[in-house]
Structure 1
Amino acid sequence: MHIRFAPQSIEALATVISGGGGNDRTPPIGIYRSASKLESFMRSCNVSMSVGTGSRLPTLVEALERANREGDQTILRNIVERAADPRDFLDDPDRHQAVIDYLNARLSYDGLELQRVGSAVRLGAPGRSSSVVDALANAVVVIDFDTVRRDLDRALASAEDDPEDAVTSACSVVESVCRSVLIELGLPLPQKKDIQGLYQAVREPLGLTPDKGGVPDEISGDVRAILGGLNSVVNGVGSLRTHAGDAHGRERGYRRIDARIARLAIHSASTASLFLVETWQRQFPTKQLKSH
């Protein structure tokens, strides 16, 4: 996914970020920001801007156009996501949704879309959201699992532009959940603290070994097959990180995998992590799983 804004998208972003012109009597679509607050907003996105004796709205448009020409993908992504940051609309969720809809109506022509991921809003390609990723994002918000949320956000943001980094982050999601399970249960971390070693260490205390009982006989074989498949998925994500991710170095500018494979790793890791979190909540309903 390559981010480049059409003039209409830049105009829409300027309208949302600035809250419109100072003499505009219509209700603002976004949040009205003074010149100094606009400068602060753009600095938070790593874009320099100084209104000085000029007008706030034209100066903002000029700064957005300059960032668009320079093409730094991280900066452009940050601008859009900051413009629709839900924390700025806590007291007016309807306006927040209106901002998302307003921007998406323009961004769709650029092949872009703002999507809700848990409590956050992320810029992605249209139709690339995933129910299992959303479910995991919502689950980690509920249990205040900052490390998993950061890794998941990083994986989603990197899938198109840096798929190797996305695989590394997807692997870290599973590792973070497993590590927290072991620490909360007072169990030692395994000698090998990679995804395979950590997952193997949590299987027994969470009752996830394929030969574990506790299910009706007529489906026990099916459950064993699924648990065995989950083990294969975790091992596969770990191996992909080793061979194609960025955790162990890579040749500069060379991509071993594409966004399609990166998303497969993200969805697989999210499925495994969500299952681990839900298993914890079922096994230990009165004990909160904390981030470690």
Structure 2
Amino acid sequence: MENYTVPSYVISTIAETVSENETHASLDSLFMYAEAPGEPPEGSKAVKALEWLRRINKVSGSETLTIIGRIIEKYMETDVETAPTFWRSEEMIEKEKANIEKIRKALERAGLSYSTGGIISKGEGLATKTLSELIKKKNIQAIDQEFERAIKNVQLSPREAVSAACNILESLFKVYIEEHNHLQMPAKQDLQSVWKVVKTDLGLDASKLEERDLQEIVSGIMATVNGIGALRTHASAAHGAGKKPYKLKPRHAKLAIHAAHTIAAFVLETWNEKKA
């Protein structure tokens, strides 16, 4: 994973949250569980948490996001949907919700996202957020799962992230075909085959567009879908690496993810417009 320095406002938000909700003993235990470097700093809980987080940021290098992810995991994955009980009042539940929202907004401002299991990832841009909203509205579980897998693995396993990026498109196109009775699923259900059916039905044919600029963009989309499929075949975790495996880096995975997300969002929006 690449080195990353967490912005000071994220550090401050997390420090404030943990110092308000932990005792000295539990705060020490939490940071040790996360494998934070060094001994607990001296001072109040607020000072201790802030200094320890700054130390993580300064010396942990590529492990910074991993360690901080473990620290906020207990807060981000608290079950706040349950009704108040003898042990958890409505006030406590509202406070837990506020903690999650406060940390989430700080991460979002820094271009970071949290995934289940204490995973903090970089690289969730506008296309990713748009796609996330669209797939949740359509409740397409398979796409939602691949979406999470892509974001989770972009830093940890670029090959796995590329595979997930391709699966996002493949799953979307298959769902589209299944939901339109006049369409027939191709015998070979690889990305290129299902894409051919979908693009024809949606009218995404560059040759039929009058505007030359749009022709070039749509032609680029066609080539990009093929490129993502080929990258999964030759370099992702979906196939053997062969004698000369691609040296995929997070930036390569991000390119594939952002491209797949942009195309998926465009297809979903075109689908919604056609249905309307």
**TM-score class normalised by the smaller sequence:** 0.5 to 0.7
Counterpart residue identity of residue 183, structure 1 = E
Q: 1:103 to 1:282 in 2, by over 3 A?
A: closer
Contact (CA 8 Å) 1:135, 1:274: kept in 2 or not?
yes
Work out whether 1:58 is the aligned partner of 2:58. Answer: no
Structure with greater proportional helix content: 2
Query: Deviations 1:88-116 (Å, cap 9, x if unpaired)?
Result: 567565443433467899xxxxxxx5735
Query: Deviations 1:247-286 (Å, cap 9, x if unpaired)?
Result: 112269x65222221111111111111111111101113x
Tell me the TM-score normalised to structure 2 length. 0.68
Query: Deviations 1:118-174 (Å, cap 9, x if unpaired)?
Result: 9xx96234xx33111111112112222222122122112222221111111100000
Could you say which residue in structure 2 is the equivalent of 1:179?
Answer: 174
Segments of structure 2 that go 5 or more residues without pairing to the other structure are 38-55, 82-93
Q: 1:74 to 1:115 in 2, by over 3 A?
A: closer
Could you say which residue in structure 1 is the equivalent of 2:192?
Answer: 196
Contact (CA 8 Å) 1:148, 1:173: kept in 2 or not?
yes
**1:5 and 1:274 mapped to 2: Cα distance?**
31
Give the C-alpha shift of residue 200 in structure 1.
Answer: 0.7
Query: Deviations 1:58-108 (Å, cap 9, x if unpaired)?
Result: 333332227999x99997576256345377567565443433467899xxx
Contact (CA 8 Å) 2:234, 2:246: kept in 1 or not?
no
**Helix, strand or coil: the match of 2:248?**
coil
Could you say which residue in structure 2 is the equivalent of 1:131?
Answer: 126
**Helix, strand or coil: the match of 2:112?**
strand
Q: 1:19 to 1:66 in 2, by over 3 A?
A: same
Contact (CA 8 Å) 2:169, 2:191: kept in 1 or not?
yes
1:280 alignment partner, one of 260, 271, 276: 271
Could you say which residue in structure 2 is the equivalent of 1:288?
Answer: none
Give the C-alpha shift of residue 228 in structure 1.
Answer: 1.8
Give the C-alpha shift of residue 202 in structure 1.
Answer: 0.8
Q: 1:185 to 1:72 in 2, by over 3 A?
A: same
Contact (CA 8 Å) 2:75, 2:100: kept in 1 or not?
yes
How many residues matched? 236
Counterpart residue identity of residue 235, structure 1 = N
1:96 alignment partner, one of 76, 96, 100: 100
Q: 1:104 to 1:184 in 2, by over 3 A?
A: closer
Identity of aligned residues (%): 24
**Helix, strand or coil: the match of 1:124?**
strand
Could you say which residue in structure 1 is the equivalent of 2:259?
Answer: 268
**2:197 and 2:68 mapped to 1: Cα distance?**
38
**Helix, strand or coil: the match of 1:160?**
helix
**Helix, strand or coil: the match of 1:193?**
coil
